[in-house]
Structure 1
Amino acid sequence: SERAMEMEQLIQRLEAVCVRLEAAGGVVPAAAAAAIAAAPAAPAAPAAAGGSSASVDAFEELIEAKVNKLVSVAAAIGDADLQKTTGFLKTAFDEEAKVIACVASCKKPDMQTLQSLLKPTADQIGACYDFAGDRKNKAFQHTKVMSECMQGLTWVAYTQGSGMSMPMKTVQESWNSAEFFANKLLMTHKGDKNQTDWVNTLKELMKDLAAYVKAHHPTGPSWNPAGSDAKSFAGGAASSSSSGGPPAAPPPPPPGSLTESKPAAKPAGGTAALFSELNKGDGVTAGLKKVTSDMKAKNRTDRSGLVKAPAKKKAAAKGPKVGKTELAGGKWFVEGHVQNKEIVIEETKSNQGVMIYGNEDCIVQIKGKVNTIIVDSCKKVGVIFQDVISTVETVNCKRIQLQPLGKLPCMSIDKTDGCQIYLGPDSLETEIVTAKSSELNVVVPQGDDFKEHPIPEQFVSKFADGAFKTEPAEHGGG
């Protein structure tokens, strides 16, 4: 309050007077000493649970305006897995709100205390990531979008020298990674208002979160240097979060317990068993069966001289495989990955190229500006990239997806069957050159929605006026 601030300023002025008097004569007048003693103590920093700083209030408003709206939209859709997915975000934001309150009212803690503060939020991020990989999850596409977005909540862990991006950039990068999957959702559920509202609300939330971080924590969490110790806050949070949980599991039994069942003795084998049988003498053949006439090979009717060809072995299903991602000779090489959705190239330069070769069922993210990108002999691969100076080429590929987040002059699609291109506002002027390719579609933004445009793959050539004129083939609807 204003009265508390005035009182704190008065105390500071009296203390400054005392310092000057002590420096001059070493004696503090009785009037000044009495004034200091009579002055009430400065109000303590606001409690963590009820902090009233602007950053705490703004974060609570963000939860109320956007997070709760997202929960309502998920409830309107009615899918249980989608509601569970949205619940991860809601809980993570609620836990991060506690961290924001601690930041406003506590001094910067040591690393161990900070980790204990961030653990509840990190647990929700990990749970969402695991749920995205659950094959029983019917809303796995939504969960993948949410998992990428929730990475933006890690901005609160930023410290100088940690190697992390700045807080606002961390939030922006998380949405850039999620937008690829969000666009696929919009195309899949085109015309479904609730589904479109869910994606757009999540997009607005991430933009508002980036604006919040820029306004209140641009260079990292703004800890209160005059605040209390964060350890007490972390301890209280840990005890409150664990008070209603299930009892801890009993410890495992000690190794070597006397109650352990001993393994059964193995039968003797090897040379000892052989000599034991030979020592039986004439009884060694007692267990053999007598061969009758119909058991002899020449008299058996179930066998013939035909030699059957061995059965062909079925090709083993490909499993996840981590290939090569390295920088060599001024070019990045991404080769031999299978079912790897976490390939990220970060430390790029404008004079470097990227070669993506022989990958299957993968997603490659390229951050920063590069010179060229070549995608060769890949299947079911998505490439998300920012600015490209020269061109993006695909050759000998099947079912690939490309999404530029920045500007690029040209795309060349050659010998590619199935290519989906998602253009953004900055890349609408891109030239697309195609040859010997099929099933090409370009998705462009149209207001809050997206529109898909097919690229012609059939042409009609007519000879007229001494030359051939070629135009795309038009198919009339029946």
Structure 2
Amino acid sequence: MNNNLESTVADLLKRLEQATTRLETVEKALASGGNAGGSSAGSAGSSAPSAQSAKEFQNLVDQYIVNLVALSKKIAPELGKQAEELAKAIDAETKVIQTASQSKKPNQDLLMKVIAPINAAAQQVSSIRDSHRSSKVFNNLSALSEGVGFLSWVVVEPTPGPHVSEMRSSAEFYTNRILKEFKGVNQDQVDWVTNYISFLKDLEKYIKQYHTTGLTWNPKGGEATVAAGGASTPSSAPTTTSGGPPLPPPPPPVLDVSEFNKPGKADMSSVMSSIAAGNLTSGLNKVTKDMKTSNMANKSSVVKASDKPTVAKADIPTKPPKFGLEANKWVVEYQVSNKNIIIEAPEAKHTVYIYQCVDSVVQIQGKVNTIILDSCKKTAVVFGNVISSCEVVNCTSVEIQTTGKVPSISIDKTSNIQVYLSKESLDAEIITSKSSDMNVLIPGETANDDMIEIAVPQQFRTVVKGKTLATESVSHI
């Protein structure tokens, strides 16, 4: 009996010693970023980073980005160059993921050095778009530029997945245009969109699987200094191919860690304290009768060129103004306090592109195909008939007025916009996204009546009905 007991104890001690040895091996492997014995290291704990994360990310690149670059080169040279810069940024991000699997989470200053190569290549993506505004593939260039912010998921906490989804939505504003123009006409363009959007969708799934609450660092790894130095060394960083300093003025950094997770940035404690104390209206000014739109004097149904307001120095474009017809596109760019911009007798095939204008008024006297108002402030556009659509994107305090017919008006990422419709345009479709302070004004009963101002809903209520969602606008009385 004693012999059996001693044998059992000895066997248990032997097993315990083997298990201890195995755990020590796994710990050493994780500290060096290796994989001890296949999947066992990866299963040592869900919080332990693994080389599998970087491998899966590279699989996404091989599946989609390689094709995207090849198609971009086939479609247009400038698009091919931009796609190559995007690939460089993604390659730099792969190195950051590899660094995270081998290193402890660094402080903010060191993290900025780790992500510097991503930032440099991403800035080139935006720069190429800005320098090719008259390109025939401007929608493609814009799709890559608007979506390139997805790269910043590596510094977003605690939910990087939704950030990628938001960047995909920004890109889809332009990819939807591409599909509308080329579906059934140019398969290369359709495949280009498919690869780009599919990559962003699968990237979101990848993040939810491997980096649910933020980029996963190795708590038992070494310092990130070596990896950061390797990531930013000229021999390994693809961003040095441009040579010299960035183009003046450089675009804003895509990955500004200071803007993410900033202490107090989204702090609602003071707001909640005010609510708890009942101080909901103590800081608000009283609205008098003369301030209401319905009681304002000198109301008019047309957009007027008001007296020259004070233009903030920061709003003034740094580039010289531009106005003219390029191929089939009227280009109106960098105009400041110019109330006399008139496009006379345009052709129906012409497009009007208005970019970074401040405190200006543009009149279009004739029928055109499309009107695009992009990144403008305090600017008004008055036009007759439009065949396709009028699009407003990235604007602040703008007004658009049609005196003829327009089938569609698209408003994206815009705040404070007034849309004046004529009787012929009352059937126009108005599509809005990520915008605020939107009002549509329609004609009154007679020509002598004031225009009727109607606010576009900004708040919505969604409920689950069976297997679907039902959404309706919320009105406040």
TM-score (norm 2): 0.48
Structure having greater relative contact order (Cα 8 Å, sep ≥ 6): 2
TM-score (norm 1): 0.48
Larger radius of gyration between Structure 1 and Structure 2: 1
